[in-house]
């Protein structure tokens, strides 16, 4: 996946573990369910995209499966949240990073940025916005899910008016558009910053990647002795 | 009274309207129809209704539906609410008229109003699941319905119900199948007092005028026609003895309209949402064109290696 083939190919001698196998599986469950949710949701959002329901075997199935995928996503994302929340707490460096966002967005602008830990302010923004948006999508989604509502009414007597459902529909659509934009930012960043996707497909990144983008994190990993060194290309 | 409705001609007839007469089709467009059908309407004269529920029975029979045996909740409403099988329900209200201090028994036959501007159709995301004919009938086409329930959110009258059997939405069709062969709706045919009448919308308005004059002469000063302009008028209308306060008739909306929330969601919202998503994709593509990939350099790798060496 990485684009390390371009000249001059750096000889990689140091690899730094970034995500455990469990974290990667967790991430890809979220990623797949998110993508399917976006496809089935967009199909019902704009008539021109209704054809996307064919991917699920028709409109009825797309409609049926969407809320259940949402439940899968919500549970899986809880896993990511518990894993990564403590590493995404805001700190002073984030303000400096954000004030120099122009450099963060230009290739080679890293030298003007403070050394960052495991996550920079942009990644933290993605983490917290998705956490917040998925919570909103879950709550508003249940409020427009007739089967879910019927279950809640039978079990805990929870009922809402049609006016509340209308609010839920508009909140759900707004949050969904926002979460898709954040998703695009997330995917594009992983693609633009070469070597990043390795973290989720192999679990480790090269030392150079750590030095360039997350120097404080790399220093800590080296200090802890949590890096792998090898001769020749890994 | 109208003359008794003659029994229908039972020979096979060609439908008088069909898909070529659509003026609206959910989540899609239709070519403008080449002819305009005469708008039809069902008029329900609440002041003549005796609450016998013959209309409910006729509806079940004609549409071949069976309602579950329910529970008595202490009212005459049976079933308690509209269901996917009960497309119409008589709603009984005991109202004390503050002017005369007398009890009035208000009986309103509830069901789809066949709005000229149907909120259900506007909210529907499934192409062709809800259609509107140029005679005013709003119909659900079940093979296109995906059971999302958006029509329930769009409807200003709280009418559609989702079936647990086939997961599609049901409501009164105004007996579009009967109307297509020159018959009135089943409920109208069954009504023993002709509280329900059916004809062209103009005929029904004229008929209502006579009824309203009669009611006014009997002391119902606020008698009037319920044909709410907020939804462009309806093709099911009521004659109400208290048309100044429709809400006393089991919460009939005083000024129904498509909720602004639904209009925002299915109107500007869907274009804005698509635009924002497209914009972020374009922004990413432009950024890549201008900046190229952000690659780790050989120097970065060497620095990392030196750092790792220092430690050991």
Distance from C-alpha of B114 to C-alpha of B122, rounded to nearest angstrom: 13
Distance from C-alpha of B240 to C-alpha of B48, rounded to nearest angstrom: 10
Residue of B nearest to A169 (CA): B265
Distance from C-alpha of B142 to C-alpha of B156, rounded to nearest angstrom: 21
Q: Which chain B positions have a beta carbon within 8 Å of A15's beta carbon?
A: none
pLDDT at position A7: 46
CB B22 within 8 A of CB B33: yes
Distance from C-alpha of B44 to C-alpha of A112, rounded to nearest angstrom: 76
List Cβ neighbours of B192 (8 Å cut-off, separation of 6 or more): B50, B52, B54
Average pLDDT of the residues in B221-239: 97
Q: Is A18 helix (H, G, I), strand (E, B) or coil?
A: coil
pLDDT band at B312 (very low <50, low <70, confident <90, very high): low
C-alpha closest to that of A73 among A41, A45, A42, A37: A37
| Domains of chain B in sequence order | 19-259 (3.30.70.20), 267-311 (no CATH)
Domain ranges of chain A: 21-194
pLDDT band at A109 (very low <50, low <70, confident <90, very high): confident
Block residue for tokens 């119409």: B88
B143 interface with A at CB cutoff 8 Å: no
Distance from C-alpha of A180 to C-alpha of B128, rounded to nearest angstrom: 28
Q: Which chain B positions have a beta carbon within 8 Å of A43's beta carbon?
A: 125
| Nearest-CA distance A204 → chain B (Å) | 14
Interface residue of A59, A113, A187, A234 to substitute, partner B, most B CBs within 10 Å: A59
pLDDT per position as a tens digit, B106-159: 999 999 999 999 999 999 999 999 999 999 999 999 999 999 999 999 999 999
How many other C-beta atoms lie within 10 A of the C-beta of residue B274?
16
Mean pLDDT of chain B: 95
Q: Which chain B positions have a beta carbon within 8 Å of A146's beta carbon?
A: 149, 152, 162
Q: How many CB pairs under 8 A join A and B?
A: 168
pLDDT per position as a tens digit, A7-55: 444 455 799 999 999 999 999 999 999 999 999 999 999 999 999 999 9
Quick one: which H or E segment has residue A99?
helix A92-99
pLDDT at position B310: 85
Pairing of strands B196-200, B169-170: unpaired
Measured in degrees and rounded to the nearest 5, phi and psi for residue B102 equal -120, 155
Domain A21-194 has CATH 2.60.60.20: no
């Amino acid at each position: 996946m990485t684009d390390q083939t371009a000249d001059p190919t750096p000889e990689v001698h140091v690899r730094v573990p970034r995500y455990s196998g469990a974290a990667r599986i967790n991430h890809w469950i979220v990623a797949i369910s998110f993508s399917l949710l976006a496809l089935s949701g967009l199909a019902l959002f704009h008539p021109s995209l209704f054809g996307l329901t064919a991917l699920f075997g028709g409109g009825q199935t797309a409609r049926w499966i969407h809320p259940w995928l949402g439940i899968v996503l919500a549970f899986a994302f809880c896993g990511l949240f518990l894993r990564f929340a403590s590493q995404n707490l805001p700190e002073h460096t984030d303000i400096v990073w954000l004030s120099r966002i122009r450099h963060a967005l230009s290739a080679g602008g890293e030298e003007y940025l403070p050394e960052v830990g495991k996550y920079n302010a942009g990644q933290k923004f993605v983490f917290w916005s998705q956490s917040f948006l998925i919570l909103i999508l879950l709550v508003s989604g249940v409020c427009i899910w007739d089967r879910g509502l019927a279950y809640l009414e039978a079990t805990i007597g929870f009922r809402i008016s049609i006016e509340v459902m209308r609010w839920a529909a508009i909140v759900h659509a707004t949050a969904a558009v926002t979460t898709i934009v954040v998703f695009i930012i997330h995917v594009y960043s992983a693609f633009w910053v070469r070597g990043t996707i390795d973290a989720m497909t192999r679990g480790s990144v090269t030392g150079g990647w750590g030095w360039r983008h997350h120097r404080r994190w790399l220093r800590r990993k080296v200090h802890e002795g949590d890096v792998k060194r090898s001769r020749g290309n890994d | 009274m109208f003359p008794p409705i003659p029994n229908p001609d039972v020979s096979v007839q060609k439908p008088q309207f069909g898909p070529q007469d659509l003026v609206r089709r959910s989540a899609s467009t239709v070519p403008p129809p080449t002819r305009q059908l005469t708008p039809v309407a069902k008029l329900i004269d609440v002041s003549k209704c005796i609450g016998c529920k013959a209309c409910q029975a006729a509806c079940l029979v004609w549409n071949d539906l069976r309602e579950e045996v329910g529970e008595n909740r202490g009212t005459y409403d049976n079933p308690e609410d509209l269901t996917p099988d009960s497309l119409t329900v008589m709603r009984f209200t005991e109202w004390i008229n503050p002017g005369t201090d007398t009890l009035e028994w208000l009986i309103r036959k509830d069901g789809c109003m066949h709005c000229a501007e149907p909120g259900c159709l506007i909210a529907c995301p499934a192409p062709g699941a809800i259609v509107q004919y140029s005679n005013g009938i709003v119909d659900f086409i079940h093979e296109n319905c995906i059971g999302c329930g958006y029509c329930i959110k769009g409807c200003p009258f709280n009418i559609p119900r989702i079936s647990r059997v086939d997961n599609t939405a049901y409501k009164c069709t105004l007996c579009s199948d009967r109307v297509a062969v020159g018959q009135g709706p089943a409920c109208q045919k069954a009504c023993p007092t002709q509280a329900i009448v059916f004809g062209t919308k103009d005929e029904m308005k004229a008929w209502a005028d006579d009824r309203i004059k009669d009611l006014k002469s009997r002391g119902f000063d606020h008698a009037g026609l319920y044909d709410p302009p907020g939804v462009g008028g309806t093709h099911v209308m009521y004659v109400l003895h208290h048309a100044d306060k429709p809400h006393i008739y089991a919460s009939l909306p005083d000024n129904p309209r498509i909720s602004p929330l639904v209009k925002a969601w299915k109107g500007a919202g869907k274009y804005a949402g698509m635009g924002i998503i497209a914009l972020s994709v374009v922004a990413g593509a432009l950024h890549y064109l201008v900046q190229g990939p952000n690659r780790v350099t050989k120097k970065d790798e060497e620095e990392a290696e030196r750092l790792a060496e220092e430690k050991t």
